[in-house]
Amino acid sequence: MHDPTTNQPDGQTEPAQPRLIPAQRSRFSWIWILPIAAALVGASLVLRNWMLTGPRITISFDSAEGLAVDQTKLRYREVDVGTISDIQVAPDRKGVLVTAQLERDGSEFITQKDTRFWVVRPRLGLSGVSGLGTLLSGVYIGVDAPFEVDKKAQKMDFVGLESPPEVISGRAGKRYVLTASELGSLDLGSPLYYKGIQVGQVSSYELNEEGDGVRVQVFVDAPNDKFVTQGSRFWNVSGVNMSLDSTGFNVRTHSLVSALAGGLAFDQMEGEPTEVAAADTQYELFPTQDRAMAEPDGPAVELRFHFHQSVRGLRPGSKVEFRGLELGQVYDVDLEFDFERKRFFALVKARIYPQRFGHLYERIVETRPDEKDPISALFKPMVERGLRGQLRPASLITGQQYIALEFFDKADEVEFDETAKPLVVPVIAGDFDRLQEQVSDIVTKISAIPFDQIGKNLQSGLTELSQVLKQLDKTTVPQLNGALKSMDAAVQKLGAMLDADSSFNTSVDQTLNELKRSLRSLRDLSDTLQSQPSAILRGRSPDVLPEPAP
């Protein structure tokens, strides 16, 4: 084997062979910065989205018309607070379930139990036109949330409204409750007036628990809510109120809006408390202003009337008056049979308000505190003095009648049971009925007159008169003609005697002249005796002539 060292000279060392050592490289590459940065950005976006995303709520509507997933927004005071994420048909197929993703900011207000949702579309209502902006932007879901947060009252399932609420939360003012027998023409948004100015509106209505009436909630805007006091009276001003009664034909309307769509009004009752009413105070809603502003009537008392005459024109609502003052109204008219007298009669039922008698009723209550039934104590002496119920015409045009309580001096005495419940007030025939009886009596008397015999006698008398006239024409007329001729001749002779040139006139003139001279002499004698009384014995003194002037 060849030894490689044999080729080197002696005493020299063979140099070391170079060894290649690879350079040490870094394990981190800058290229990884991009995915890391992208991951951080994505994580931050996810975190931000999680932090900004609120809870999901479900809203039920009758229809999903106009709603779209990921497009339709939820808006609170025109600010987006969520987006629809899903729309499904309800399990009972009676509506749709809309799932909305809320934003975290403000979600604690939206998830309150009193929050309301509705679909905003173009609408024409009593309060005006709304939702016109949706013609360009599309429909959205409006949100009305309460101002106060109750974490214990949060909920995630809601029932949407089919129409926008008339009053949103946070609106300054107060709500009041009105009770009525029926709603009439009132509707959501119907105006509420005070002194002719709209100060509020109807916000909601519902049937009461018994189902025999309605509860109407009204909202009065601030600062006008200070005019609603504990003594305020509310009444209905809906439509045009037309009535025809004993006072005439009445037409009353409040405004064009209330005439077309209904409305309410209120005012302060004189003498009632003036303290400002608290929110949710309950009032009675009267049908008319006259009823609302009338004095308190107090409890009603029932009366009965037995009329043995026609009651045509007397119906429920007819008035019961005393000396022209309305005491109450008739509420029922029935037909009954009197088995003792074997005839029918009308049983009229009425309600009156004793307090309308004024101080008279109050005095009875005060002076007779032990009296169990003041109304009996009031009516007993009045019936004894001739108080009776009488039917009278309220209008000759419509034929309506009313019951008048009046005193009649010649009324027959009747038995009055003051212990009867209800009281039965005695009645008397009406003036018209008595007039009919009088006319009937007159007709009966006229029918008893023997007109046939009178006619025969009259015919006989006329025949005899005709015969007498004929006899006179034969005998008396010729004699009368002769007398007239003689009278004419006498008149002619008298005219000739009175002619101006007749001897009769001449004699008369001479006689008158002699009479004048005699009267003149007599006057001279009278003057002489007056101036010289002794002239009768001594004769007349000579006349004294006046002396001529020098």
The label of the residue with tokens 């030894």 reads 3
Q: Is residue 477 part of a domain?
A: yes
Q: Which of 159, 188, 211 is the last residue of a domain?
A: 159
Hey, is 32 helix, strand or coil? helix
DSSP secondary structure string for all residues of 201-229: EEEEEEE-TTSSSEEEEEEEETTGGGG-B
Q: Which residues span the domain enclosing 183?
A: 173-292
Question: Tens of pLDDT along 491-510?
Answer: 877 777 766 666 777 777 78
Would residue 527 count as lying in a domain?
A: no
Within-domain flag for 502: no
Q: Are residues 433 and 457 in the same domain?
A: no
CB 288 within 8 A of CB 235: yes
Give a yes or no: residue 228 inside a domain.
yes
pLDDT at residue 219 above 90?
yes
- Report if residue 407 sits inside a domain: yes
pLDDT, one tens digit per residue, over 87-141 is 999 999 889 999 999 888 878 888 888 899 999 888 766 555 666 666 677 889 9
318 and 413 part of one domain: yes
Same domain, 364 and 310: yes
Q: ∠ CA 154-156-157 to the nearest 5 degrees?
A: 120
Mean pLDDT of 3-24: 59
Rounded distance between C-alpha atoms, residue 545 and residue 435, angstroms: 100
For residues 365 and 284, state if they share a domain: no
- Per-residue pLDDT tens digits for 413-431: 888 888 888 899 999 887 6
Residue type, 117: F
Residues 202 and 313 in one domain: no
Provide the pLDDT for residue 190.
86
Contact assessment for residue 536 and residue 529, using Cβ atoms and an 8 Å cutoff: yes
pLDDT band at 475 (very low <50, low <70, confident <90, very high): confident
Query: Which carries the bigger pLDDT value, residue 335 or residue 369?
Result: 335
Mean pLDDT across the chain, nearest whole number?
A: 81
pLDDT at 18 over 80: no
| pLDDT value, residue 225 | 92
pLDDT tens-place string over residues 373-405:
788 888 888 888 888 999 988 877 778 889 999
* pLDDT tops 80 at residue 65: yes
Q: Domains in the chain: how many in total?
A: 4
Answer yes or no: is 143 within a domain.
Answer: yes
Opening angle at CA 422, ends 419 and 424, nearest 5 = 80
Phi first, then psi: what are they for 117, rounded to 5°? -130, 145
* Residues 248, 141 share a domain: no
**In the structure encoding, which two tokens stand for residue 172, read together?**
């300054």
**Region 258-280: what's the mean pLDDT?**
81
Lowest mean pLDDT among 16-20, 179-183, 335-339: 16-20
Q: Are residues 211 and 155 in the same domain?
A: no
- Is 462 found in the same domain as 379? no
Question: Given 124, 159, 194, which residue is the final one in a domain?
Answer: 159
Given a cut of 50, is residue 370 above it in pLDDT?
yes
Task: Give the whole-angstrom CA distance, residue 361 versus residue 359.
Answer: 5
Same domain as 307, residue 266? no
My answer on whether 406 and 478 are in the same domain is: no
Digit-coded pLDDT (tens) for 21-40: 665 555 666 777 888 888 88
What is residue 320's predicted lDDT score, i.e. its pLDDT? 92
Per-residue CA distances from 193 to 166, 227, 242, 263 (Å): 16, 11, 20, 8
Please give the residue that has the higher pLDDT: either 453 or 476.
Answer: 453
Residue with the larger pLDDT of the pair 49 and 354: 354
Q: Does 454 fall in a domain?
A: yes
Q: How confident is the model at residue 247 (pLDDT cuts 50, 70, 90)?
A: low
180 and 281 fall within a common domain: yes
Residue finishing a domain among 408, 423, 441: 441
208 close to 314: Cβ distance less than 8 angstroms? no
From residue 97, give the alpha-carbon distance in Å to each of 115, 142, 339. 17, 16, 70
207 and 255 in a single domain? The answer is yes
* Beta carbons within 10 angstroms of residue 316's beta carbon: 11
- Mean pLDDT confidence for 348-352: 93
| Contact partners, residue 499, CB within 8 Å, separation at least 6 | 505
- Alpha helices in 340-391, H assignment, sequence order: 359-367, 374-384
Averaged pLDDT, 217-232: 92
Return the number of other C-beta atoms located less than 10 Å from residue 119's C-beta. Answer: 25
Q: Are 351 and 366 within 8 A, CB to CB? A: no
The mean per-residue pLDDT over the stretch 302-322 comes to 90
pLDDT > 50? residue 442 = yes
Q: By mean pLDDT, which of 51-55, 128-132, 159-163, 351-355 is the weakest?
A: 128-132
User: 151 in a domain, yes or no?
Assistant: yes
Q: For residue 253, what pLDDT is reported?
A: 59
